[in-house]
Structure 1
Amino acid sequence: MAIRLPSHLHRARSGILHFRIAIPPDLRIHFKTREIYRSLRTANVREAATTAQALSHALKQLFSQIRTGTMSEQKKTPPGPLGGLDLGLIMEFHFDTVTPTKKTVRFQTEPHDTPEMVSAALAAINGTAGAGTKERKKSTPLFSELIEDYKRDRLAAGKWTSKTQDENLAVYKLCLTIIGDLPIGDIGDDQALTYVETLKKLPANMNKMPAYRGKTISEVIALNPAPMATRTINKSLERISSLFKFATLKPKYDLRYNPFSGRSLNESDGQQREPFTNDELARLFGAAEHTQRQYTTAYSYWLPLMGLLTGARLNELCQLHLSDFEVVGGIDCINIKDAGEGQRLKNKNARRLVPIHDKLIEVGLIRYVNRLRAQGHERLFPTLKLTDEGYGKMPSRWFGKFRERCGILEKHTKVFHSFRHTFISTLLDNDVEETAIAPIVGHDGKLITGQVYWNVKDAVKRKPTVERFQPHPDVWNLVPKFEDVEITGE
């Protein structure tokens, strides 16, 4: 059974409460709207009821005064509860000199005297009653308009793929639903906190699950679903923060600061990605594929090895061209870049030179590359198709199932990216300086030209750092050479 809300309160689909009062039919000639409806910026019924009661009382007194014509052209503060809130609200009532029966109502608010929540509600009247005033503050564009402007800017600059666009717009739409389509100037810390608090109660992929389809935010939360991972929340916050950072740079929005900046949650709850243990690596490299020396694809052999011994991200490896394998200063290297067809990187720091680990050379990586070149191929994994998610979509799905088959069931914390964490954390445990690791794994190492350019000295300097990572013998002894394996599915 639905809970009945106090008078003049209405809960939007986002869960936020709104003040709502109808303009009496006999007074609508004085207004440009049939009702006053504005967000109270809270989902708490007790807080909203107090504000709604004060607004209702003041407006009903105003309606009565309009009918009786008792208001003079002198400015008056409204009596009763509204005046007691010290809102600084000024109301003026005029008789038109040409048409004496026509009354004009004007409202003027003083923001420095007005609590934000009530001020926003009264601003609705300011924009709909009478002819307006010079003192009235110009409203900023709506949240929805900012989204459209940002989308247009990103697409024009070529910053978004179709997948990136869909992901970002889904995040923006959810935020719009939670806090409402407010003027940008009215969105501040309260709205940002409401967004974070609500997001922490919602499930991942809410719109894709039949159980939640068609339900309001409040109805979904009432089902007490398993909340989305902290990492997913933080990704959403990054996207919203980028949107509002864009707004702070545009005079059109008159936004003094980014209310969503710095709100990432602490991932100390165990949901961050973790490195693989030696036992888990032994299970991965001791799977049937390795023991039987049979693999359905070449990438199912190479990707775990390359992820472990280079620290590279999955898509960085999947999109490699054979031309990215170079000899620099006598050192075999992988030049990770985004210059080739279909190649994309996370950021500018991701462009880097990675010396190839001796153990990868030992099992046959250079020989495999040379074989592909002789066959006329251009890419390291020629069977992979480019999708909106890059070349890594199918390998990512394969590894998820492979990992579970090996008994590693932690969905969010133990993923392909854990090879990268293993590489980095092992080097750190071996007292390798972060500044030496950063240019190899594509982190910001506070370098200047090294973020974009490299020279022959880099390969010579980075090779010893790469070699400081050594897999445990019990793990490495499970790995066959590439010449000893059979690829059955290509």
Structure 2
Amino acid sequence: MSIRVPSHLYRRSGTFYFRYIVPRHLQATAGRAEVRFSLGNEQRRAAIITALTLIADLPRLVGSLQRMAENDQIAPPDFFKKWQVEIIKNAGLRAEIAILKETIQEQEFQLAGMVPRSQAKGVAVQAHMQGQLKGKKELEAALVFPWPAERTALFSELLAAYLKSFTYRPKGGVRKPPGAKTLEGYRVDIEFFVKVMGDMRIGSIDREVTGQYFSVLSQLPPNISRLAKYRGLSIPEVLGLGDPPQSEYNASKKLERPSGMFKWALLEKRKWGIDSNSFVGFGQAGDNATKRRPFTHYELRALLMHPSYVTRTFTSAYSFWLILLAIFTGARLGELCQLDVKDFVTVEGIECVDINDIEATEAVEDGGRKKRVKTRSAKRLVPIHQELIRLGLLRYVQTLRERNQAHLFPELSRTRRDGPAQAASNWFQRFRARVGIITKQETVFHSFRHGFITNLLDADVTPHMVAPIVGHEGELITGKIYWNTKDATKRAPTVAAFVLPKEVLALMPSIEDIKFVAPGGPKVAQRVERR
């Protein structure tokens, strides 16, 4: 293949020369109009390589002349000669280094072919065992893996590094950093190991140790980190109370987060000196978990026959609207509790709820929790069911707009770390218990979401049509790529397909038929006029 001769290169009497025209405004500083010198080479290819090296350094040369001109200096007589010698010398050195690297690589390849890797490792290990590597600590350390337990980090040190690693996640990434509440949950669950077993070296934690830890967890009562009666007590003291133990499933769940920490450490096992995760297997009791299910129509009637609905008297707006919104939208509790007035929009002539993570106000109070969604797919447009419109949801929203309220449920505090859904969750637990629905885990607020999805699927609505309504990721490529997130006209029939028995609908009062009262006090003036 031919090589193009650079424009700065020319040939005279068989020898190649380099030529550079000095910029006109720098010629006085340089003391010449051009730079010309012999490369001392008659080989065309070698001369071109040298010339290219000189050309690559021309910006640095011009920069030096520019600084001299700015300081009213004149280039020394040997300025260009020194530049030429320096560049050509450096080019030669780089060429020698490249040749040496190629030679070393070739020799390493030949050595690798002469002695198999396994045999070489065996020789090194044998030398270590015979004490022939004493003084060569780095080599010895590389051969000993996993490390001896006493050389590994403390459990608390690994935990600190693990928790810190969450801060490296980009806020806009696929795996976002967990919130303060979630991060605290990680710390409490993992740190509990230290409370039970002590701050051990991670290299000494094997299956036997983990099994002992699991045995203790299985004997402990639930919620010992939260209930005041256990505060300040040691583990033996808690066990001595004789309280009923937590389920084996809950005990095994508490090992999942330590298992996740060790899984993270194994990504850099050479850093931590371990090669196994002894927590694996203990936290996989999913088959024994209580399965959540939708509310039956009988249970829905029981909820809607709560004293609040019977007397048409409620202590707050959310105690009236949350159940109805969950039934007819399938939205999560957290999504409903953080709704703003601005999230009620009209798209293509259809009234919708825009579930998003955009704040209604510019700032969130210190210590408060910003709006968030569970996944990217959770940002969605949900057409408002006609039954919600009949019950007066839009009339209630309009009243809030007239009062310049930013949030759908102003009474739910956003200054708490746990966000507005915490108070609502506690309220619903008491609400359902009062009507006799007391089975733990099986029927919870999320059961409304299960019911909404199940109802649509039973009505022969395809999962592809349901997914964007409830914020699930579409399984089909058409759902992931071609579904318009603002296509209200196509989503409205899906929501309309959700139908409840008439006897259930009859128990739902409209906003004009109810009144709000303060807990244990007089009526609160929040009447909504029918429009």
Matching residue of 1:353: 381
Identity of aligned residues (%): 41
Instruction: Tell me, yes or no, if the aligned pair for 1:231 and 1:272 is still in contact at 8 Å.
Output: no
Q: Distance in 2 between matches of 1:168 and 1:452?
A: 35
Whichever residue aligns with residue 311 of structure 2, its letter is Q
Distance 1:379 1:211, change over 3 A: closer
Instruction: Tell me, yes or no, if the aligned pair for 1:331 and 1:460 is still in contact at 8 Å.
Output: yes
Whichever residue aligns with residue 240 of structure 1, its letter is P
Out of 304, 308, 314, which is 1:285 matched to? 304
Distance 1:140 1:333, change over 3 A: farther
Cα-to-partner distance string for 1:312-358 (whole Å, 9 max, x where unaligned) = 11111000112222233333222222232521223334323222222
Instruction: Tell me, yes or no, if the aligned pair for 1:352 and 1:451 is still in contact at 8 Å.
Output: no
Q: Distance in 1 between matches of 2:240 and 2:461?
A: 49
Instruction: Tell me, yes or no, if the aligned pair for 1:321 and 1:380 is still in contact at 8 Å.
Output: yes
1:369 offset after TM fit, Å? Answer: 1.5
Instruction: Tell me, yes or no, if the aligned pair for 1:351 and 1:452 is still in contact at 8 Å.
Output: no
What TM-score does the superposition give when structure 2 sets the normalisation length? 0.60
1:397 and 2:415 are equivalent in the alignment:
no
Cα-to-partner distance string for 1:23-78 (whole Å, 9 max, x where unaligned) = xxxxxxxxxxxxxxxxxxxxxxxxxxxxxxxxxxxxxxxxxxxxxxxxxxxxxxxx
Whichever residue aligns with residue 488 of structure 2, its letter is A
Cα-to-partner distance string for 1:203-248 (whole Å, 9 max, x where unaligned) = 2211344654555546645655433357755654443344334323
1:191 offset after TM fit, Å? Answer: 4.9
Whichever residue aligns with residue 420 of structure 1, its letter is R
Matching residue of 2:406: 378
**Where do residues 188-267 of structure 1 align in structure 2 (5 Å cutoff)?**
191-209=209-227, 212-213=230-231, 215-217=233-235, 220-221=238-239, 225-228=243-246, 232-233=250-251, 236-250=254-268, 252-254=271-273, 256=275, 260=279, 264-267=283-286
Cα-to-partner distance string for 1:363-419 (whole Å, 9 max, x where unaligned) = 111222122112211111112111111111221222111111112222333322222
Q: Distance in 2 between matches of 1:407 and 1:443?
A: 32
Instruction: Tell me, yes or no, if the aligned pair for 1:440 and 1:462 is still in contact at 8 Å.
Output: yes
**Where do residues 81-160 of structure 1 align in structure 2 (5 Å cutoff)?**
123=148, 139-155=151-167, 157=169, 159-160=177-178
Cα-to-partner distance string for 1:241-270 (whole Å, 9 max, x where unaligned) = 443343233352355565545654445556
Q: Distance in 2 between matches of 1:247 and 1:345?
A: 29
1:467 and 2:486 are equivalent in the alignment:
no
Cα-to-partner distance string for 1:168-189 (whole Å, 9 max, x where unaligned) = 2110111334455344455455
Out of 349, 352, 368, which is 1:333 matched to? 352
Runs (5+) with no aligned partner, structure 2? 1-125, 132-140, 172-176, 365-369, 519-523, 525-531
1:294 offset after TM fit, Å? Answer: 1.6
Q: Distance in 1 between matches of 2:259 and 2:482?
A: 30
Matching residue of 1:319: 338
Aligned to 2:381, the other structure's residue is in SS state: strand
**Where do residues 441-456 of structure 1 align in structure 2 (5 Å cutoff)?**
441-446=470-475, 455=484
Aligned to 1:379, the other structure's residue is in SS state: coil
Distance 1:262 1:450, change over 3 A: farther
Whichever residue aligns with residue 453 of structure 2, its letter is I
Number of residues paired by the alignment? 367
Matching residue of 2:327: 308
Whichever residue aligns with residue 151 of structure 1, its letter is L
Q: Distance in 1 between matches of 2:271 and 2:312?
A: 63
Higher helix content, 1 or 2: 2
Distance 1:407 1:480, change over 3 A: same
Aligned to 1:383, the other structure's residue is in SS state: coil
1:147 offset after TM fit, Å? Answer: 1.0
Whichever residue aligns with residue 226 of structure 1, its letter is P
What TM-score does the superposition give when structure 1 sets the normalisation length? 0.64
Matching residue of 2:193: 175
Matching residue of 2:455: 426
Aligned to 1:286, the other structure's residue is in SS state: coil
Q: Distance in 1 between matches of 2:215 and 2:198?
A: 15
Matching residue of 1:480: 509
Aligned to 1:419, the other structure's residue is in SS state: helix
Whichever residue aligns with residue 207 of structure 1, its letter is S
Matching residue of 2:367: none
Aligned to 2:225, the other structure's residue is in SS state: helix
Instruction: Tell me, yes or no, if the aligned pair for 2:334 and 2:420 is still in contact at 8 Å.
Output: yes
Instruction: Tell me, yes or no, if the aligned pair for 2:464 and 2:479 is still in contact at 8 Å.
Output: no
Runs (5+) with no aligned partner, structure 1? 1-87, 94-107, 128-138
Matching residue of 1:365: 393
Matching residue of 1:80: none
Distance 1:481 1:257, change over 3 A: farther
Q: Distance in 2 between matches of 1:288 and 1:265?
A: 41
Aligned to 1:207, the other structure's residue is in SS state: coil
Q: Distance in 1 between matches of 2:333 and 2:512?
A: 24
Aligned to 2:394, the other structure's residue is in SS state: helix
1:409 and 2:438 are equivalent in the alignment:
yes
Choose 1 or 2 for highest CA Rg: 2
